[in-house]
Amino acid sequence: EISFFFPPEDTLAVIKPDTQHKEEILEEIQAQGFTISQLKDTILSREMAEEFYKEHREKPFFSQLVDYMCRGPCTMLVLTKENAVQEWRAAMGPTDPDQARLTAPESLRARFAKDVLENAVHGSSNTEHADQKIKFIFGDIGEIIPDTASPPLET
Ligand code: RTP
Ligand code: MG
């Protein structure tokens, strides 16, 4: 009998500013079996937000996106699980909540996003981005918060 071992993978998740649903999002993260390996609340500077979303520099919504991302504290999380990158993308659902409500009604964006811009959560789109963004946000040796049952940090 052949069995496969899938090593745990890390992804970067962000609970974006101004969502009224942070607690429910954290509950869903735990319900879906992600381990919260690192967590911190941070207000991004404009420069950091621009760097974070630099892939979208040329998009018409870029300046609005940067305004949104540095408007208040973001909750930054490293989520660890088998296939974490893909599973967190699936948990979030499509970028636009109108589409999410049609194709993934249980997803976080279907439930909690306000619109296509203010869509509550971010997730890395591949493992290379995940590694790069985790380093960018947490540094090479980030703070470790070992007890996932502890309450989220408040800023
Ligand atoms: P994310 O990077 O935040 O996880 O979202 P995503 O992959 O689903 O979507 P992406 O195309 O990478 O877009 C990044 C973020 O830009 C904002 N956006 N606004 N106004 C618009 O048409 C528009 N399109 C995208 C959203 O905040 C989106 O999550
Ligand atoms: Mg993206």
Asked if 122 is an active-site residue, the reply is yes
Say if residue 95 carries a ligand binding annotation.
yes
> Where do we find the tokens 């520099």?
57
Can you give the pLDDT at residue 61? 98
Q: Quick one: which H or E segment has residue 8?
A: strand 8-15
Say if residue 126 carries a ligand binding annotation.
no
How many domains, the chain? 1
Residue 14 placed within a domain: yes
- Point out the ligand nearest to the CA of residue 95: 1
Residue 67 placed within a domain: no
- Residue in 63, 95, 116, 119 to alter for ligand 1 test, most ligand atoms within 8 A of Cβ: 95
pLDDT per position as a tens digit, 6-64: 789 999 999 999 999 999 999 999 999 999 999 999 999 999 999 999 999 999 999 99
- Long-range contacts made by residues 45-52, C-beta under 8 angstroms, separation at least 24? 45/70, 46/70, 51/136, 52/133, 52/136, 52/137
ipTM over 0.95: yes
* Structure-model confidence comparison of residues 129 and 142, the more confident one: 129
Specify the CATH number for the domain of residue 19. 3.30.70.141
Q: What distance in Å separates the CA atoms of residue 87 and residue 46, rounded to the nearest whole number? A: 29
- Please give the structure tokens belonging to residue 120: 């509550």
Of residues 42, 3, 55, the one with CA closest to residue 152? 42
Residue 34 placed within a domain: yes
Q: Which structural domain, as residue segments, surrounds residue 23?
A: 8-43+74-138
Q: Which amino acid residue places its CA nearest to atom 19 of ligand 1?
A: 117
> Where do we find the tokens 């918060």?
145
